[in-house]
Structure 1
Amino acid sequence: MEKIHISEPTAHNLISFDRPNNQEWKEVFNQVKYQIETDGYCVIQAGSTDRSVLLELAKYFGNPQRSLGSDEWGIAEVSTFNNGNKNILTSQNQYLSNTAQEFPCHTDGAFLLGIAKTKDGRLLQISPPKLVVLQMVNTAEEGGASVLVDSQRVLEDALDWDSDLVKVLLKPCVAYARGDQLACSSVFERISSETWRIRWRYDFTTLVEESAGDAIKLFHSKYISNPKYQKRFYLQPGEILIVDNFRVIH
């Protein structure tokens, strides 16, 4: 019988569960939910790389959000096997997930913003996914580190030390582009009285207002790229990383 362990990257096997029935999956869900609310992420040691484990866990967090690069279940493979030159982005391959390049710290779906109409006439808001679930299947030939930045901690420090910078980050000063999709947004957006959402990319898909250029550059160098705010670790095959995509840059 397989075991599931909810883990911190620096302290594995904190909690263990057998995985025979839905009731114990619900217990896993409650533990995962608490850790995500506390730290912005959680690592689960599932003991299996089978995608059924990923799908079983993910269903407790809502419906999957599909993308151009995903399958019907919302799963996108991160691999260099699909790209002839694994180190180059091309017009046909604009996804870093098909290269061996290091991912700049980002939030998924930063370019998603708008309204869509369903077949039954309902209007739905298009926005980045709340959670991102990553399953480690095989270790990378090179690199492979997971890097997380808690924007909640970053924002708290920036409010204390760089209040003028934060004022810029709260204004619509950046645009994130992917194909025919474009989102003009602030870096930080308040979504409730106590909760903020961050949209962040700092690469060729990002367009910055000239007046905000210095502020965005400072935010990237002083906070996002600062090892003080980065948690770096290596997932092992069978481990699953769940990230609050509204809070944690990864």
Structure 2
Amino acid sequence: MLTMEQIQKKSLNRLVGLNPVFKIVMEKLIERCYARGVWIVITQGFRTYAEQDELYAQGRNGDKRPKVTKARGGYSNHNFGFAADFALLLRDGRTVSWDTLKDDDKDSLPDWSEVVEEAKKLGLEWGGDWRSFKDMPHLQMVFGITTAQFRAGKHPTQAQLNAALAKFNKLEDEPMTAEEKAAFKALQNTVQKQADRIKTLETTAKQPKVPAWAEQACINAKAVGVLDTANDGSYDFYRMVTLLDRAGVFKRGGVA
């Protein structure tokens, strides 16, 4: 019989890279499922764009394996740290299963359904509810943000993150101890600092005025219709436009 700590340890590596709040919610899911006699492990967490593209290639272009995703790199919530996949852990403590009908705790309710039930209580979305390309092991918490918005740099608000943190505390029968309240407050402070840091980086990256060294390149790019505005670009944006201009890309007739 494995302890909850032993069960949690099996998912540690797959929780690395997840948004801190989403990570806490997934840890709470493992804990709540264990309390119901259901063992789960996280099998997939954060993925880079390259890892996502590699997964997308499975079952395509001559690959005989079944397709496992319809999302390329940048089009999956795994790429932004707000999604994770799970599997059932069998009683030998080593074997994982995706059997949605298995009932190891003998309570007449499939273990898979119990996990989904607990996940929804915590505010998680389940891929099994999707109308097309159902993803039964998939759980996510995206706060209404699309992958396009994530790619553009949008993030959950502090209020949304705080609400997600508070949600699972309301599910507990006992009120938080002083230590738990202190830990919760510390986590909120950490999340706030990260949100402030992200905001600072985003503000720093944008330059409200075109740098003098990039003005002519932007003028040339607008003259051939490549740009409609050059305002609020980043340093890297202006650098790229300047390099393309020096390469002659923005000469009349030089743009395809």
Q: Normalised by the size of structure 2, how large is the TM-score?
A: 0.22
- Higher RCO structure, 1 or 2 (CA under 8 Å, sep 6+): 1
Q: Normalised by the size of structure 1, how large is the TM-score?
A: 0.22
* Max Rg structure: 2
